[in-house]
Amino acid sequence: MAPTILVVGATGNTGRSVTETLPQLLKKTEALFNHRVLAMTRSLRNPVAQHLSKIPGVEIVEKNWIGTTSAWLHENEVVRVFIASHNEPTQFAEESAFHLAALKAGVKYVVRISTTAANVTPDCEAYYPRQHWAIEALLASPEFSKMQWTSLQPNVFSTFYLYNAAEFVKQYLKTGKQGGPLSLLASKDAPVGIIHPDDVGIFAAHLLAKEDTTRYSGAKYVLNGPEDITGRQIVDMVEQAIGAKVQDVIYKDMSFVDLMPSHGSPEMVATIKYAPVTAWEGECTASTTSKEVLEIAAPKRTPADAFKTLLEN
Q: What's the pLDDT tens digit per position in 208-251?
A: 999 999 999 999 999 999 999 999 999 999 999 999 999 999 99
CB distance 293 to 299 below 8 Å: yes
Q: How confident is the model at residue 207 (pLDDT cuts 50, 70, 90)?
A: very high
Q: How confident is the model at residue 95 (pLDDT cuts 50, 70, 90)?
A: very high
Identical fold at 4-156+197-223 and 158-193+225-283+301-312?
no
> Which whole number is the average pLDDT over 112-140?
98
Q: Is the pTM of this model over 0.85?
A: yes
CATH of 4-156+197-223, one of 3.10.20.30, 3.40.50.720, 3.90.1150.10, 3.40.50.20: 3.40.50.720
Measured in whole angstroms, how far is the alpha carbon of residue 88 from the centre of its chain?
A: 14
- Domain 158-193+225-283+301-312 matching CATH 3.40.50: the answer reads no
User: Above 90 in pLDDT, residue 264?
Assistant: no
Q: Please state, in angstroms and as integers, the Cα–Cα distance from residue 96 to each residue in 60, 105, 139, following that order.
A: 24, 14, 9
What is the structure's pLDDT at 263? 81
Counting beta carbons within 10 angstroms of the beta carbon of residue 182, is it exposed (0 to 12), middle (13 to 18) or buried (19 or more)? buried
CB distance 211 to 29 below 8 Å: yes
Domain range annotation of the chain: 4-156+197-223, 158-193+225-283+301-312
Q: Rounded to 5 degrees, what angle do the CA atoms 305, 308, 313 make?
A: 125
Q: What's the pLDDT tens digit per position in 5-44?
A: 999 999 999 999 999 999 999 999 999 999 999 999 999 9
